[in-house]
Homo-oligomer: A and B are copies of this chain.
């Protein structure tokens, strides 16, 4: 596999450059800067005005130079943001598709907590490590100032927010706004069918508690978010892992097979949009099929949908709930990923189990605190949220492109991954001889947190994978970390091979 370098492009430079027109000479100057890494993929180009001033040229000359660089695929115009050094498409092969011919395993009780605890306590021994293991964006990608101002306004307007108990199930104004926004995603519910929760994870807990008893079987995607496995473990539930594809998510035919052959399945949990860790988005036809399969089997379909608004492009894809006609789908989501990780605000619609979900929420933790809800209602009620989402998606796209280029350049031959259509992480398939558990340990020693594939399944099936996230806006640090991870992986494979040939 050829690695991406910029020498090839530098060869475009004409040795007789000084006899070229000014706009062409200036373009070449930038071409070389890009070629030798002075300007890097994703870097912002000077504004037209700055370019004109810096080089003492007219608008026409500046425009022509940029047109030329753009034609040669060296820079990109981004709407309302200016020009950026283009991030080359990666040339790594896509991650492997799951083997659907493989018979599904048995449902099994989950024992993932010890593994995750070990990782967390190792993390804590390296508090300064660069975090490529998380699942939220950096604070600087969220509207910190606007939310801070909104919170101050809310406190001035309603000083008793902190000292008076809020209404059951959440702030009525917020629930009404959420119901209205849900309509955009194809979900038709009233404000009283929205129950506010402590993040999406409490919503998923309530959903599972509403439809299962300890010992029951729950079908989950394989791989899936380790937090879900922890919930199953804590509730004494059995997981039946259904293969999921890095491109299209949950394998519908495998689910169909499982529903027909495992009569004790009480719920199916799916992340339909930007699955964690795969980054897959289910095609509409698959979404429709999954809802229909579950409805026909009489099995609750719990969708965990916190990433929907992070999918590139508009409108955002629909939730599974949009296809629900009989209350089969329990919809869980949060604003932790899209807006404010510190506010811990999520919500749930319990489908036909909604009254039971309400009872469980009241018994488990009463209503949420009011302040965060009032702040959120203020923000969602204006156009500010839509504007923020456009900026956030654009920033994440830039980060992903740059990180994808970094992985493609730095990681050893045999590495594979599928570039997701949004969000903040990559599910990277390592070459065969590399264990992600060992890679995790070595990376941490080297000051970088990654999330090993072992925690995304109860079956040990994903030791060859790591989830890498690009949460930070400090892209130079991330570039450097990816280069170091690539070198580390290469060294570990070489050592494995040396060890292997000695035996």
Contacts and interface: CB of A to CB of B under 8 A. Distances in A.
Nearest to A361: B234
Given A139-B160, A163-B142, A363-B227, A368 B342 contact: no
Nearest to A362: B230
Interface residues of A, number: 60
A291 to B, nearest CB: 27
A218 to B, nearest CB: 14
Contacts of A139: 160, 163-164
Contacts of A182: none
Contact of A371 (B117, B201, B342, B363): B342
A395 interface: no
Copies of this chain in its oligomeric complex: 2
A168 interface: yes
Interface stretch (A56-64, A93-101, A143-151, A488-496): A143-151
Interface string A154-169: 0110011111111010
B372 A369 contact: yes
Contact of A201 (B120, B147, B161, B365): B365
A148 B205 CA distance: 32
Nearest to A209: B234
A249 B346 CA distance: 39
A199 interface: yes
Interface of A: 113, 117, 120, 134, 136, 139, 142-145, 147-148, 151-152, 155-156, 159-166, 168, 198-199, 201-202, 205, 209, 213-214, 227, 230-231, 233-234, 236, 336, 339-344, 359-360, 362-372, 375
Minimum-distance CB pairs A-B, first 3: A142-B163, A234-B363, A165-B341
Given A148-B156, A152-B155, 17 more contacts: A113-B363, A136-B165, A144-B159, A148-B155, A148-B159, A151-B151, A151-B155, A162-B375, A163-B342, A165-B341, A198-B366, A205-B364, A230-B363, A231-B364, A342-B371, A344-B368, A371-B372
